[in-house]
Amino acid sequence: MLAAARERWLETLTPYMLLLPAIALVAGVLGYAVVSGTVMSFYRVEVWEPGEPFVGLANYIALFRSPGFRNSLTVSLIFVGATIVIGITMSMMHALVLNHTSVGRSIFRAIALIPYLVSGVAAAVMWRFLFTGDNAVATQLMDMLGLSTVSWLADPDRALIVVIMANIWFIAPFATLILLAGLQTVDPELYDAAEIDGANAWQKFLHVTIPSIMPMLSLSLMWLSFASFNMFDIILPLTGGGPGRSTEVLAVYMYQLAFRDLNYSTGAAVMIVILAINITLSAIFLRAAGRPDHDR
């Protein structure tokens, strides 16, 4: 009996032990980056001057007084807000279609994941090809429709729209798979009971589907917000933060500070601001997922 209990204990513990080295490695790398970045944000680190004097909150004060930071924060909020609203809507619609597709579901699910498997730089090059130059696909399409052509990436407002579309195309498929996994766990008897009570399709979606998949929905929102606030590898090759600073989100602004201006301390402060925003949004989404059904 003792041997059987020990065997069950080992069987339960083995998966966690196998995952432990990878978890420890990731946690160590991320922990070191966060701790070193936090410490650096309280010092003045300059390449050409020896010593690193402690300056306290001076880097943060200078950061929040900077017009460049306020512009990047505004652009990031618009960028992330549009991505979350449009991305979660499209992901939900896509997941619902896949959930009701009985033939070739696994094939369509694999196709849906293709954008997420492409590297960010490759995606940026593809979107730049679509919207740049006289031979761009968007330009040729507008010519076919008899519309006047526009320089998408040369106009501040249109460039931001293109960046948002590229970001949604890149990160939304993963949210689709998360929502699809949630939809496949909903008990069909709940829909039958709602239909007996006279609920229409919209009412069943609102009062059965949404509460049932709320944890997955919150996880999808966390993914969209986290990936968008940290998005860098699409925006820099696609627009470089321009034209002007119309697409310079916080991640790009942090890169420009640290690697172009060699202002490592203020760049570290931007990193901490991004981390704080991500933690705040994640806490909000987790709290929404943890609410009882009658509080929603």
User: Rg of the chain's alpha carbons, rounded to an integer?
Assistant: 24
Q: What is the mean pLDDT of each run of 10 residues along the chain (296 residues)?
A: 72 82 88 88 78 84 92 94 94 88 70 79 87 74 73 85 92 90 88 86 89 90 91 89 89 90 89 91 82 47
How far apart are the C-alpha atoms of 137 and 129, rounded to whole Å? 7
- Does residue 104 sit in helix, strand or coil? coil
Summarised one tens digit per residue, pLDDT across range 252-276 is: 999 998 888 888 889 999 999 999 9
Give 41-48's long-range contacts (Cβ < 8 A, gap of 24+).
41/265, 41/266, 41/268, 41/269, 41/271, 41/272, 43/265, 44/265, 45/264, 45/265, 45/268, 46/262, 46/264, 46/265, 47/262, 47/264
Q: What is the pLDDT of residue 166?
A: 92
Q: What is the pLDDT of residue 290?
A: 65
* Single-letter amino acid, residue 217: L
Q: Please report which helix (H) or strand (E) contains residue 164, including its range.
A: helix 156-183
Rounded to two decimals, what is the model's pTM?
Answer: 0.85
How far apart are the C-alpha atoms of 154 and 164, rounded to whole Å? 15
For 235, phi then psi, to 5°, come to -70, -45
Structure tokens at 148: 């006047």
